[in-house]
Amino acid sequence: MELSQQFRSADIALYSLNGKQVLRGSGEHPNLAMGVYLLSVRGRNGSVFTARFAHSGGGLSIDVGFGNGNSGSLLEKAIAGNWTITVSAEGYLDTSYAFFPETGRGSTPVQEINLRQILPSSSSEIIPSSSSETSSSSSSVGYSGPYGSVTHGGQTYKTIVIGTQTWMAENLNYDPGPGNSACYDNNSSNCAQYGRLYDWSTAMSISTSYNSSSWNGSDVKHQGICPAGWHLPSNAEWTTLTNYVGGTSTAGTKLKATTGWNNNGNGTDEYGFSTLPGGRGYSDGNFNYAGDAGNWWSSTEDNSSYVWYRGMYYYGSYVGRDTSNKSWLFSVRCLKD
C-alpha cells in the first residue's frame, strides 16, 4: 500500500511481535487478528519512532496528516508545527501520534512523543517507545557452558555454539580504517563496552557507493570485516538462530545479556549469546538508544538503500526483523563459515 506523494518522506509499517509485516504505508487491513502489534515510523533523515499497542480484533487503518498543512519535508526539517499518524481500529482504538521538532538536534524530529487516545476500551493499551514498562529482570544466572575464542585485529572474542551455528558471543570491536565506523558518542569506552558501530558498506568491506546503490553481490558467507573463516550473517542465518532458540517472539529475552540493559530490560542469556544495547549512529554524527536497544546488520540487501537487520529492545522479549538505511551505524556479530 503506497503512501500518497505528499507523505513519501515517511516509511510506515505495522508488524506483529514475531516480526511479520502486516501493513505497509497508510491504508487499511479489513480483519486484523487480536494481538499486540508494533507500529514503526521511519523518516528519511534517520529518525525512528515505534509504539506497541494491543488490538482486540477487526479492521484497522493507518492515516497520515500534517497538523500545519506542510508537505512531507516536515519530517526532514525542524520547522514549526507537527504531523500525526492515526491508528484506527473500529471503535477498539483510535490514537493519534503527534511528532514535534526537537530543540537542539537540527533536522532530527523529536523522540519524545505526545499520545492522545480516543474511544478507549478496557482491552486496548498504548505503550509508547518512551514507556517505563519494560521486560522484567531475570532471576536466571545465564549461560554456564563452554565458550570458544577467535582473535581478530589484536582482540580476542568469545565464541559460542548455538545449534548448528558458531557465533561470536560479543559485538565486533575492530577499526577497519576506511569507511564509516565509530564508537557510540565517539567515546572509546563505549567501544570497549558495546563494540564498534558500522555503516553497512563498511561492515561488508565494500565501496561506500553501495550505501546508496544496489550491490547485488552474494549474501552467502561474505567475510566483510569479520576474521578469516568468519562472515557477516545473512538474513536467513539470523532467522536460523531465532528459530533455534524458540522463535522471534521470545528470542530477545533468551539472547540478551543478564545485565547492561536499561529499566530491567535484561534477558536470561540462556545460550551465551549475550547481546548488549549498543545503540545506533547516523551519517550526520548523531547517536541514540545506547542502553535501550541493539541493532545488528545482515549481509542481505532489500533494495538499493535498505538492508535487513535484527533489533532487540529493553522493553520487549522479541527480536525485531526489519530493513534499515545502509548509512546508519549498527553493531556487527560474525558467524563462522
Q: How far, in Å, CA of 194 to CA of 332, rounded? A: 10
Task: Write the pLDDT tens digit of every residue in 201-220.
Answer: 999 999 999 999 999 999 99
Q: 148: which strand partners?
A: 159
pLDDT of residue 104 exceeding 90, the answer is no
Q: How far, in Å, CA of 29 to CA of 40, rounded? A: 16
The closest alpha carbon to 162, from 259, 243, 219, 258, belongs to: 243
Q: Find all residues with CB under 8 Å of 318, minimum gap 6, and list them.
A: 17, 18, 19, 248, 249, 250, 251, 252
User: 176 pLDDT band (50/70/90 cuts)?
Assistant: very high
Q: Does residue 318 contact residue 18 with C-beta atoms inside 8 Å?
A: yes
Higher pLDDT, 221 or 19: 221
**Top mean-pLDDT range of 77-81, 113-117, 172-176:** 172-176
Q: What is the pLDDT of residue 253?
A: 93
pLDDT of residue 45 exceeding 90, the answer is no
Average pLDDT over residues 265-288: 93
Average pLDDT over residues 311-326: 90
3-class secondary structure, 49: strand
Average pLDDT over residues 74-78: 32
- Grid coordinates 558498506 are at which residue? 201
Q: What percent of the chain has a predicted confidence (pLDDT) above 70? A: 61
Higher pLDDT, 55 or 246: 246
Q: What is the pLDDT of residue 268?
A: 93
pLDDT of residue 165 exceeding 80, the answer is yes
pLDDT of residue 326 exceeding 60, the answer is yes
pLDDT of residue 19 exceeding 70, the answer is no
3-class secondary structure, 170: coil
Higher pLDDT, 238 or 92: 238
User: 145 pLDDT band (50/70/90 cuts)?
Assistant: confident
- Grid coordinates 545460550 are at which residue? 271
**Top mean-pLDDT range of 2-6, 55-59, 61-65:** 55-59
pLDDT of residue 75 exceeding 80, the answer is no
- Grid coordinates 534517520 are at which residue? 46
Q: What is the pLDDT of residue 241?
A: 96
pLDDT of residue 116 exceeding 60, the answer is no
Task: Write the pLDDT tens digit of every residue in 242-268.
Answer: 999 999 989 999 999 999 999 889 999
- Quote the mean pLDDT of the chain: 74
Q: What percent of the chain has a predicted confidence (pLDDT) above 90? A: 50
Average pLDDT over residues 46-69: 57
